[in-house]
Structure 1
Amino acid sequence: MAALNGDNAYNQDRDFWEKYLKGRPSIPQTFFEQIFNYHSDHGGRFDTAHEVGAGVGVHSPRLATRFDHVLVSDVISTNIEIARSRLQGPYSFKVSSLEDTIDLLPNSIDLVFASTMMHFTQVDEAVKAVYHQLKPGGTFAASLYGTYALHDVQAQGIWKKIVVRICEMIIEKFELSARAKMILQNEAAGLDCVGLSEELFSPALRYNLNFPTPDTMREMILPAQFGLPNISRISINDTVTNGWDKGWFSQHDIDGLKDIAAS
């Protein structure tokens, strides 16, 4: 039985990435504007942004609308090859894990953007690498989004069962290494698994948007029978806000749901 260790999860071909880009939620521009406004309000410059764990540069074009230059990095070399072929403009590329980007020049990056990837990292080492590369007044913005939730209660119950079964099948297909278990725990915890030392960072602003219940992510990604405990590294000084943002809402027919499931 093959081992699922996290490093091979996104070592995929163009067909995979086409399905990923088609089926994953489209992040509204208001989300990025909130990040850009925070960055500006805290004295941040708009010289260089760094999308880490970028895959094929999924969100780099959105960063390039405001920053003069965007560094695109990912641990998988083939992902960076695809990124080079699909991104034209003010980009540079680096094959590296987030932890290993500690080799970048210190105080060289204005904003580090990490989307749906922090659970794959050795979190404490990754946070140190972020701090190392950020300029004074720089911003670390991390996001994690799961699958869609459906408005209709009955439909959501069916959809949840489908997603849980997909996750179970993925887990059952592989032998779970200790690293894979860590990744699953981190992902189920959302970004609560990321602790930011207040010696290095300002207290975190944490937003939970459009979660039908607080345990939605955990229940759908990490079924209870696997018995892995929850993780929370939220500081008492962090600000936690729960809310709804209609910018994430969209309509899909059955074919759209199939695209989502395929991603």
Structure 2
Amino acid sequence: MAPEGKSEKPGFAAPNFSWAEYIKYRPLYPASYYDRIYRYHAQHSNTWDVAHDVGTGPGIVASGLANKFRHVVVSDPNDTYVDIACDRLTNEFGFPKSQFTFLQESAEKSSVQDGTVDLLVIAQAMHWTDIEAAMESFARQVKSGGTVAISFYGRSLIAKNPKALAGLEKVYDVWVAKLHEMGGFPSRASRVTDSGFDVVPFSTKHWEPGVKRIFINTEGKKEPICMSLKNMKPFESKVGKDDVMEAERDDGWTDVKDSEWVKGFFTSVLPNIPEEDVKEFWTEVEDAVGGPDKPVDIVYPAVQLLATRK
């Protein structure tokens, strides 16, 4: 499923993108995120030598992996991103540089040697890839018995306030409509999330039966993962007949913020749209919660896919 259409660069390649703002307005990965992956991996391999964080961005997930694995490959296709990750991992988090291999390259065309990776993780990035090509690359890298872990969390949803949530949904309706107008990467990425990542195939040639597709804070439904119910354009499902669908409630993916933070989260998703296009809907949100600085209960819908290499 190669990208098509007008816009041929993923959102995070935008020149105005700020990782500082992204980190400020995005959720922290809860301990349960790593625990879920590690429990699964321990059941099938229990080898903790090499991990690969694909599409690392500023090294958020790589920092977690470095606490568990002897060595972590850190890769991203975008200019300067691996440099940012290197700086954060070594200077901010204090890991030795020798614990990492930093690669500026795509998920689809990795230089990582065949069968050398125990755990390959791609978080908040799979929707930007050519999925079929990326999956072939992952299968080549991961050792027999090793794990691939694909994850995505959706937009921050306002809980316990239907009026505020309705206003927020209108904001994302406008944004997703713009993505489809742009075509190319933005539209395609939106359609992947609309599919609840059911579009990710796990070939029986490479992966053991029983692939786990875990929906978190969605009551087992994939619709909460999408950014706009009004503008959903899901791809055809590629869920295998032996795949296992699971639903979990995870309070680690909840928080209390304010509507200004919710707005900051929105501006961290790319590509950006003019503020005037959604100004009236942000007013609806703020009126419903009682002001921009009033506390708001937040819940994140998420999906994690876990598979074992044959």
- The question of 1:206 aligning with 2:213 is answered yes
- The question of 1:185 aligning with 2:188 is answered no
- The question of 1:4 aligning with 2:7 is answered yes
User: Greater helix share, 1 or 2?
Assistant: 1
Equivalent of 2:52 in 43, 50, 53: 50
Equivalent of 1:115 in 98, 111, 123: 123
- 2:273 maps to which residue? none
- 2:43 maps to which residue? 41
Q: CA deviation at 1:15?
A: 6.0
Unaligned runs of 5+ in 2: 269-310
Conservation of the 8 A alpha-carbon contact between 1:35 and 1:141:
yes
- The question of 1:128 aligning with 2:133 is answered no
Distance 1:26 1:252, change over 3 A: same
Counterpart secondary structure, 2:75: strand
Q: CA deviation at 1:180?
A: 4.5
Q: CA deviation at 1:130?
A: 0.6
Letter in 2 for 1:254: S
> After the TM superposition, which residues 137-176 of structure 1 pair with which residues of structure 2 at under 5 Å, given as runs?
137-152=145-160, 153-172=162-181, 174=182, 176=183
Q: CA deviation at 1:205?
A: 0.4
Counterpart secondary structure, 1:10: helix
Query: Using the alignment, how far apart are the partners of 2:179 and 2:233 within structure 1?
Result: 16
Equivalent of 1:248 in 240, 245, 253: 253
Larger Rg: 2
Q: CA deviation at 1:232?
A: 1.1
Conservation of the 8 A alpha-carbon contact between 1:210 and 1:244:
yes
Letter in 1 for 2:196: G
- 1:97 maps to which residue? 106
> After the TM superposition, which residues 50-89 of structure 1 pair with which residues of structure 2 at under 5 Å, given as runs?
50-88=52-90, 89=95
Q: CA deviation at 1:86?
A: 1.6
Letter in 1 for 2:58: V
Q: CA deviation at 1:62?
A: 0.7
Query: Using the alignment, how far apart are the partners of 1:3 and 1:223 within structure 2?
Result: 22
Counterpart secondary structure, 2:19: helix
TM-score by length of 2: 0.75
Query: Using the alignment, how far apart are the partners of 1:94 and 1:123 within structure 2?
Result: 20
Q: CA deviation at 1:30?
A: 1.2
Conservation of the 8 A alpha-carbon contact between 1:186 and 1:231:
no
Conservation of the 8 A alpha-carbon contact between 1:12 and 1:79:
no
